[in-house]
């Protein structure tokens, strides 16, 4: 696991968007794992910008989102399908048929979870997975005590998560669905490359637990320590409780991979 610390949220999002664009240019048929949440919004804005101004081409790639709420239809303004369409899919030249989210309205949710896993396998697996982190340390909707080997399945959301996501549902946690379909921790760990983006002071404590704490099902993001190629891009505020800050800075300043991005610090 590698931690990249950048001065602010904008620069952290910029690096993530640049990495993604670089992978997409090198591999037009890239299979992308997508994440939602406020943290990802600037990343998608930057990708749309690159599409409009530089012709970044999404026509051959496909996407699989981490999760979707159960019981709200795709066209509901709070569904993750709606979020993705609004922020990215409707604004770039991606084929809608190549964009995948679990169907939270499926009549047989168990079958839907199996179908989703099979679709990822059929696409050849996820090349680059984006993830954020919830206030309780979740990735996707893998709430505390999720099995670290779990696959796509239904999960009950914790009160903390429903509270965190309440602003998107008019401010009342009671309006946030109680359940979601999420890729499992094991599904996420199978991705070939993983990029976690974490910004803001409110994420500092949970980020330190995820990155420097013990691997624990209580903080499912800590399982990313087992990922073969996981890079964590954070801003100064989110990094403020990390112990190895100087080491992380030194790695960014010295690894050839990051040479072209030195101007960001």
Ligand X SMILES: N[C@@H]1[C@@H](O)[C@H](O)[C@@H](COP(=O)(O)O)O[C@@H]1O
The helix/strand/coil state of 7 is coil
Task: Say whether 116 sits in a helix, a strand or coil.
Answer: helix
Write out the E strands in 35-109. 62-65, 67-69, 99-100
d(CA 59, CA 215): 38
Neighbours of 170 (CB within 10 A): 10
Shortest distance in whole angstroms from residue 101 CB to ligand X: 12
Name the segment binding ligand X (CB under 6 A); options: 55-63, 105-113, 128-136, 205-213: 128-136
Is 63 a binding residue for ligand X by CB under 6 A? The answer is no
Q: Which stretch binds ligand X (CB under 6 A): 19-27, 55-63, 101-109, 131-139?
A: 131-139
Residue 39 as a binder of ligand X (CB under 6 A): the answer is yes
DSSP element (H, E) containing 200: none
23 secondary structure, DSSP code: H
Q: With contacts defined by CB under 6 A, how many residues of the chain interact with ligand X?
A: 14
**134 binds ligand X per the rule CB under 6 A:** yes
d(CA 154, CA 200): 29
Answer for which of 140, 146, 219, 248 binds ligand X (CB under 6 A) is 140
| Minimum distance from residue 53 beta carbon to ligand X (Å) | 26
Can you tell me which of 62, 79, 161, 187 binds ligand X, judged by CB under 6 A? 161
Indicate whether 99 belongs to the interface with ligand X (CB under 6 A). no
Q: How far is the CB of 149 from ligand X (least distance, A)?
A: 19
Q: Is 133 an interacting residue with respect to ligand X (CB under 6 A)?
A: yes
Rule CB under 6 A: say whether 35 interacts with ligand X: yes
CB 142 within 8 A of CB 212: no
DSSP 8-class letter at 172: -
Binding mask 64-83 for ligand X (x = CB under 6 A): --xx----------------
Dig out the tokens for 71 from the structure. Answer: 């019981």
Q: Which residues are tagged catalytic?
A: 67, 136, 138, 143
Contact yes or no for 64/34 (Cβ under 8 A):
yes
Q: Could you list the residues that contact ligand X (CB under 6 A)?
A: 35-39, 66-67, 132-134, 140-141, 161, 165
């Amino acid at each position: 696991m590698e931690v990249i610390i950048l001065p602010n949220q904008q620069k952290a999002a910029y690096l993530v968007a640049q990495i993604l664009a670089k992978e997409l240019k090198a591999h037009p048929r890239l299979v992308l794992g997508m994440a939602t949440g406020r943290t990802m919004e600037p990343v998608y804005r930057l990708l749309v910008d690159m599409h409009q101004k530089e012709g970044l081409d999404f026509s051959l790639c496909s996407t699989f989102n981490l999760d979707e709420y159960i019981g709200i239809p795709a066209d509901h303004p709070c569904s993750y399908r709606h979020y993705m369409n609004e922020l990215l899919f409707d604004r770039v030249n991606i084929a809608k048929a190549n964009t995948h989210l679990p169907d939270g309205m499926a009549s047989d949710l168990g079958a839907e979870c199996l179908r989703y896993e099979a679709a990822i396998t059929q696409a050849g697996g996820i090349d680059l997975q984006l993830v954020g982190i919830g206030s309780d340390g979740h990735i996707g909707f893998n709430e505390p005590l999720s099995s670290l080997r779990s696959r796509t399945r239904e999960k009950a959301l914790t009160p903390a998560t429903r509270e965190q996501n309440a602003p998107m549902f008019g401010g009342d946690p009671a309006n946030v669905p109680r359940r979601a379909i999420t890729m499992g921790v094991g599904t996420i760990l199978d991705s070939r490359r993983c990029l976690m983006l974490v910004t803001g002071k409110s994420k500092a404590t949970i980020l330190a637990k995820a990155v420097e704490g013990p691997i624990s099902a209580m903080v499912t993001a800590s399982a990313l320590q087992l990922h073969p190629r996981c890079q964590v891009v954070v801003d100064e505020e989110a990094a403020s409780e990390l112990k190895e800050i100087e080491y992380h800075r030194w790695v960014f300043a010295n690894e050839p991979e990051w040479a072209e991005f030195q101007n960001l610090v």
